[in-house]
């Protein structure tokens, strides 16, 4: 059975457009393949929080060289990074906040980008360890058009996923949602329905 990891990154719940679209895409994925689905919510998951000096130091130390406080500080990151590495397919729900990803998602990305788990260092630079995986990225914006000079979400998500070795990325764009919510939401749902899974 394939493992689907869904990551929501909006502090909004019922009113979140990105969550609504993620629900539609998750339903489609699960109807066309057999998945075991895990959820992570970057604003409400107790494991997802900012680190400290102990955690940053521990990232670069073998476990047997970590202090008790360092092991405790890095334990959440160990769980999240391993879970991320073990998934086969990813579903990111990504609202644009002030031209970039939300603080919650950035924190999650920092926690799962771990040397020896999701990437490694080589003589030619970092190399992603997560090959042959698929990522679906839903991007929503209120009033910013994607693909313009102030869209710092699309490029960031592509760079981050490529860094980990994930190059098979499908974007579902739902921008300018505040201009005509229902029309743009319906258009995004149509995009999802037409996807070849």
Give the per-residue pLDDT at 174.
95
Are the CB atoms for 26 and 4 separated by under 8 Å?
yes
What pLDDT sits at residue 105? 98
| Helix axes 103-112 and 68-86, enclosed angle (nearest 10) | 100
Mean pLDDT across 25-51 = 96
pTM for the model stands at: 0.95
CB 154 within 8 A of CB 171: yes
Predicted local confidence at residue 52, as pLDDT:
93
What average pLDDT does this structure show over 146-170? 97
The total of structural domains in the chain comes to 1
Which sign, positive or negative, has the C-alpha torsion 73, 78, 83, 84?
A: positive
The pLDDT tens digits of the residues spanning 60-106 come to 899 999 999 999 999 999 999 999 999 999 999 999 999 999 999 99
**What whole-number distance in Å separates Cα of residue 106 and Cα of residue 51?**
12
**Sequence-separated (6 or more) residues with CB below 8 Å from residue 15:** none
CATH code of the domain containing 187: 3.40.50.360
Percent of the chain with pLDDT over 90: 96
Predicted local distance difference test score (pLDDT) of residue 68:
95
User: pLDDT tier at 116 (50, 70, 90 boundaries)?
Assistant: very high
Give residues with Cβ within 8 angstroms of 110, minimum separation 6: 51
pLDDT value at position 110? 97
Burial 57-75 (b: 16+ CB within 10 A, else e): bbbeeeeeebeeebeebbe
Assign 197 a pLDDT band (cuts: 50, 70, 90): confident
Residue-number span of the structural domain to which 17 is assigned: 2-193
pLDDT tens figures, 3-20: 999 999 999 999 999 999
Pull the structure tokens for residue 33: 């393949």
Q: Would the pLDDT of 196 be above 90?
A: no
| pLDDT class of 58 with cuts at 50, 70, 90 | very high
Alpha-carbon separation of residue 41 from 25, 38, 49 (angstroms): 16, 10, 11
């Amino acid at each position: 059975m394939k493992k689907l990891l869904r990551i929501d990154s909006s502090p909004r719940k019922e009113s979140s457009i990105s969550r609504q679209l993620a629900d539609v895409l998750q339903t489609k994925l699960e109807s066309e393949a057999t998945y075991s689905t895990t959820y992570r919510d970057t604003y409400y998951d107790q494991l997802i929080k900012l680190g400290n000096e102990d955690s940053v130091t521990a990232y670069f130390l073998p476990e047997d060289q970590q202090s008790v406080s360092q092991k405790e500080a890095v334990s959440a990151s160990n769980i999240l990074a391993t879970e991320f590495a073990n998934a086969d397919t990813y579903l990111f729900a990504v609202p644009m906040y002030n031209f970039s990803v939300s603080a919650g998602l950035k924190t999650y990305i920092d926690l799962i980008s771990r040397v020896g788990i999701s990437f490694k260092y080589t003589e030619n630079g970092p190399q992603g360890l997560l090959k042959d995986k698929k990522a679906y990225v839903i991007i929503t914006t209120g009033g910013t058009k994607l693909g313009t000079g102030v869209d710092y979400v699309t490029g960031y998500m592509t760079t981050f996923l490529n860094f980990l070795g994930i190059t098979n990325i499908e974007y579902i764009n739902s921008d300018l949602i505040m201009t005509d919510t229902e029309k743009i939401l319906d258009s995004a749902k149509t995009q999802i329905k037409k996807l070849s899974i």
